[in-house]
Structures are given as structure tokens and as C-alpha cells.
Amino acid sequence: MSTLREDAAPVEVIKPPGVWTRTRRGRTAILYLLPSIILFGVFVFYPMFRTIYLSFFLTDQRGEAAVFVGLDNYRYLLESAAFLNSAKATILFVLYTVPAGVILALFLALIANEKLKGIGFFRTIYSSTMGVSVAAASVVWLFMFHPSIGMFNRFLALFDIGQIQWLLDPDWALFSVAISTIWMNTGFSFLILLGGLQNINEHLYESAKIDGAGYFYQLRRITLPMLSPTLFFIITISLINAFQSFGQIDILTKGGPAQSTNLIVYSIYREAFVNYQFGTASAQAVFLFLCILVVTILQFRFGERKVHYQ
């Protein structure tokens, strides 16, 4: 903004403009931004500040701030084994879902990018999970994981492999939820990555072919660098989504067994809407916000260097 003003200044050298005139551009800008400022303000910033405010209080039965406790809610969280466990589960969940999900979607996008007859059918199938709501998908997975009538255990039984308590064994539950989450997110990532692939200029591949480059060489030197902005976007979004997973946890495990899938968002929900402790719930929310903020900043700082913008 400052450069613009300097450009404009020499024209009216004779009379220094008043404050009103000088801020004209700024005011116009604000006017254009007003709709989004209002919307963000009401739906994002007000709730955010309210959350921070509540995190310093204990709330009463109606959810109103009742007793000011300063940083006690945060202190309690950091000492609470349950919360540390939630934090650990969340990090594990992110590690399970993000790399696997992105690689799977990338693989599907690469094979669906080939020009073959009937490829439209496969593209539709691969992106179809996007059209399934988290709740519906979770219910389907719930049946597949079912301990007595589930598909997976019947399948294992065919090969005489021992039964797995997919959602009831604390060692497996997080993994099971992660599998279903990867499946749910694949459609969206696939679609975005395919869009990215289709945007890559054909001439690049033609020139490479003339130079005698093989498929994998092209993949490494043309496709991935050209796709990097899209990949960066997908990784960021997947990461944030993984941190905020809720629906599948609520339906598949309700945070159990033995808290092994009690991710932070779920634990916030339970603290706020089952236990009505909006104070500690808000403190957890602030903590999660800070985590995502740090991760995203780190990603922009280090990840974006590898991104090639055209």
C-alpha cells in the first residue's frame, strides 16, 4: 500500500493533501473488505475471543463464566494424563492419515490422468468419496469393523487368521479410524490433484519425450515440480483436517477404547457438551489453535521453499 501512495504523491506536489484525501484509498479498501470483515468477525473472530475469554474461567451449569481461575485451566490440562494422551493420539493420527492419504490420492490422480478410453468412469469412482458425508461413511465403516458381523473379520476368518477387535482394541482403534479417514479424504485430495495435473502444460512433456526422458524421469522433473503448489495446498488442508477430525470419531469409537482415539477435538466436544465444562474445553481449544498455527507457520516457512510457482 505504501508504494502506491509514494507513486501518487509527486503528481500533487503543490498542495499537500488532507487526511481525508490521503486515506481515500484505504477507506475504499476497507469498504470492499467490509463484507468479509463482518462475516469473519461474527463467525470466526468473535467466537475465537470468546473462547479465549472462557478459558480463564470455570463455568456454571448454564455455561456462563462463574469463577475466574486465571491460568488454572491450562495448568490442569498440562498436568492431566488424559489430555496429554489426547495430544499424543492426535499427533499419531495426523502421522497416520496425512502422508498415506496424500500419497494414495497422488497415486490415483497419476493413473487417472492417463488418456484412456473410459477414464471418466474411474475418475468419478476415485472422487466419489467426496460425495459421501462423514456420518454416512462412518456408519458404513462401523459395520465393516463390527466385531461379530463385520466384513473385515469375516474376511480374516476365510484365511483362518485370528480375529481383530478393530474398534475395541486400544492398539488397533486409532489405526482403524485412520484407515476410514484416509478413505473419506481421498476423494477430495484426488480431485484437487487431478485438477493440478491437468493444468500442466502438454508441451513440457512433448519436449521431454523428444529429449528421450522416461516416465519416471518426467514424473520427478516435470510433474512433481509443476504440481508442487497443488501438493502444498493439499498437504496443508489435510493436516488441518486431520487435526480437526470429529465426525468419524464420534460415530466409530466415541473416543474409546481406553481413550485411545480421544483426539483433542473430540475431547473438547466431550468436555463442553457432555460435561459442560466450557472453561477447560476452551483451554483445550486454544491449545489446539496454537498447535495448528505453529504447524501451519512452520509449513509455510520450510515447506513452501520447495514449491515451484509458475
Partner 1 sequence: MMKKWRFGLLMVAAFVMLMLAGCTNSDPDAAPEADADTGTQEVGEQQEAAVNEEGKVEIEFWHAMSGGGQESLDAIAQGFNESQDKYVVNPEFQGTYEELLTKLRSIGGTKDAPALMQVFEIGTKYMIDSGYIEPVQKFIDEDSYDISQLEENILNYYMVDGELYSMPFNSSTPVLLYNKDAFREAGLDPEKAPETFADVIAASSKLKTDEMYGFSMLTYGWFFEELLATQGGLYVNEENGRAGNATEAVFNGPEGLNVFRFLDTMNKEGTFGNFGTNWDDIRAAFSSGKVAMYMDSSAGVANAIESSPFEVGAAYIPHADEVKRHGVIIGGASLWMSKGIADEEQQAAWEFMKYLTTPEVQAKWHLDTGYFAINPAAYEEDIVKEKWAEYPQFQVTVDQLQDTEPSVATQGALISVFPESRQQIVTALENLYQGADPQQVLDEAVEGTNRAIEIANQTSQ
Among 67, 78, 125, 219, binds partner 1 (CB under 8 A): 67
Residues 206-235 that bind partner 1 (CB under 8 A): none
Angle between helices 278-298 and 72-79 (to 10 degrees): 70
Handedness of CA 20, 25, 28, 33 (dihedral sign): negative
Q: Which is nearer to partner 1, 39 or 95 (CB)?
A: 39
As a whole number of angstroms, the distance between CA 201 and CA 252 comes to 43
> Binding-site residue total for partner 1 (CB under 8 A)?
37
Whether omega before 257 lies within 30 degrees of 0, making that bond cis, reads yes
Cell numbers 476415485: residue: 126
Site track 173-212 with partner 1 (rule: CB under 8 A), x = hit:
----------------------------------------
Residue with cell 496454537: 290
Label the pairing between strands 57-59 and 65-68: antiparallel
End-to-end CA distance of the chain: 25
User: How far is 50 from 275, CA to CA, in rounded Å?
Assistant: 19
| Of the candidate residues 74, 92, 110, 147, the single one contacting partner 1 (CB under 8 A) | 147
* Amino acid identity, position 304: E
Among the listed ranges 17-25, 55-63, 121-129, 194-202, the one in contact with partner 1 (CB under 8 A) is: 55-63
Minimum Å distance from CB 205 to partner 1? 29
Which H or E element spans position 53?
helix 46-54
Query: How far is it, in rounded angstroms, from Cα 95 to Cα 92?
Result: 5
Helix (H, G, I), strand (E, B) or coil at 62: coil
Could you tell me the smallest distance in angstroms from the CB atom of residue 58 to partner 1?
5
**Backbone dihedral region for residue 255 (phi beyond 0: left; psi -120 to 50: alpha; all else: beta):** left
Answer for which of 51, 55, 59, 127 binds partner 1 (CB under 8 A) is: 59
Closer residue to partner 1 in complex, CB, 66/144: 66
Binder of partner 1 out of 110, 140, 168, 200 (CB under 8 A) = 168
Per CB under 8 A, the list member of 4, 11, 31, 149 interacting with partner 1 is 149
Asked if residue 146 binds partner 1 (CB under 8 A), the reply is yes
Q: Of 150, 184, 186, 182, nearest to 166 (Cα)?
A: 150
Residues 247-306 binding partner 1 (CB under 8 A) are 254, 256-259, 270, 273-277, 304
| Positions 2 through 41 that interact with partner 1 (CB under 8 A) | 37, 40-41
> Between residues 108 and 281, which has the closer beta carbon with respect to partner 1?
281
Among 14, 31, 62, 79, interactor with partner 1 by CB under 8 A = 62
The residues binding partner 1 (CB under 8 A) are: 1, 37, 40-41, 45-46, 49, 58-64, 66-67, 82, 146-149, 165, 167-168, 170, 254, 256-259, 270, 273-277, 304
